[in-house]
Chains A and B, each alone.
Chain A
Amino acid sequence: MFYREAGDFKTSYREDSQTFPIKFDRLRFYAVLAVAYGVIPLLINDYWASAVFVPFLIYSIAAIGLNILVGYAGQVSLGTGGFMAVGAYACYKLMTAFPEVSIFIHVLIAGGITAAVGVLFGLPSLRIKGFYLAVATLAAQFFLVWLFNKVPWFYNYSASGQINAPERSIFGVIVTGAQTSAMAKYMFCLIMLTIVAVIARNLTRGTVGRKWMAIRDMDIAAEIIGVNPLTTKITAFAVSSFFIGIAGALFFSVYLGAAEVGEAFGIQKSFLILFMVIIGGLGSIFGSFAGAAFLVLLPVLLKNLLVGTLGWPTDLAAHIELMIVGALIVIFLIAEPHGLAQLWRVAKEKLRLWPFPH
Chain B
Amino acid sequence: MKTTFTALVAAAITAAAPAMADLVVPNLSYRTGPFAAGGIPYADGFNDYFTLLNERDGGIGGEKIQVPECETAYNTEKGVECYESTKGMGALVYNPLSTGITYQLIPKVTADGITLYTPGYGRTSAANGKIFEWVFNYPANYWDGASVAIKYLLSQNGDDLKGKKIALLYHNSAYGKEPIRTLEELSKKHGFTLSTLPIDSPGQEQKSQWLQVRREKPDYVLFWGWGVMNQVAIQEAANIKFPMENFVGIWWSGSENDVKPAGAGANGYKAITFNGVGMDYPIYADLKTYVYDAGKASGAGDQEGSVIYSRGMYAAVVIAEAIRKAQELAGHSAVNAAEVRAGFEALEITDARMAELGLAGFGQAFAATCADHGGPGGAMIQQWDAAAGKWMLTTDFIAPDDEVLGPLVAEDSAAYAKENNIAERCN
Identify the A interface with B (CB < 8 A).
Answer: 46-47, 50-52, 55, 96, 149, 158-162, 164, 166-167, 177-179, 255-260, 262-264, 266, 300-301, 303-305, 307-309, 313-315, 317-319
Contact = CB atoms under 8 A, between A and B. Distances in A.
Contacts, number: 128
A308 B76 contact: no
A160 B103 contact: yes
28 contacts: A47-B84, A50-B81, A51-B84, A51-B85, A159-B125, A159-B178, A160-B175, A161-B174, A161-B177, A162-B174, A166-B419, A177-B107, A178-B108, A178-B112, A179-B111, A256-B76, A258-B107, A263-B173, A264-B77, A301-B9, A304-B16, A307-B70, A309-B12, A313-B69, A314-B31, A315-B32, A315-B71, A318-B73
B71 A263 contact: no
B12 A47 contact: no
B118 to A, nearest CB: 13
A262 B171 CA distance: 11
A278 B221 CA distance: 46
Given A149-B172, A315-B32, A257 B177 contact: no
Contacts of A47: 16-17, 84-85, 88
B15 A308 contact: yes
B174 to A, nearest CB: 4
Contact of A263 (B29, B88, B100): B100
Given A50-B81, A258-B103, A304-B16, A159 B173 contact: no
B412 interface: yes
A55 B84 contact: no
Given A51-B80, A263-B173, 19 more contacts: A50-B80, A52-B13, A149-B198, A158-B415, A159-B180, A160-B123, A160-B174, A161-B173, A177-B420, A178-B112, A257-B108, A260-B173, A264-B77, A301-B9, A301-B12, A301-B13, A315-B31, A315-B299, A317-B71
A73 B100 CA distance: 37
B181 A318 contact: no
B155 interface: no
A24 to B, nearest CB: 17
B104 A256 contact: yes
B146 to A, nearest CB: 12
B276 to A, nearest CB: 28
Contacts of A263: 75-76, 100, 173, 201
A178 B12 contact: no
Contacts of B87: 46
A327 B40 CA distance: 26
Interface string B36-58: 10001000000000000000000
A159 B412 contact: yes
Contacts of B112: 178
A318 B32 contact: yes
B280 interface: no
Given A301-B9, A308-B16, A178 B110 contact: yes
A258 B104 contact: yes
Contacts of B71: 303, 307, 314-315, 317-318
Interface string B247-282: 000000000000000000000000000000000000
B147 interface: no
A164 B84 contact: no
Contacts of A161: 173-174, 177
B29 A314 contact: yes
Nearest to B40: A315
A186 B80 CA distance: 15
Contacts of A259: 76
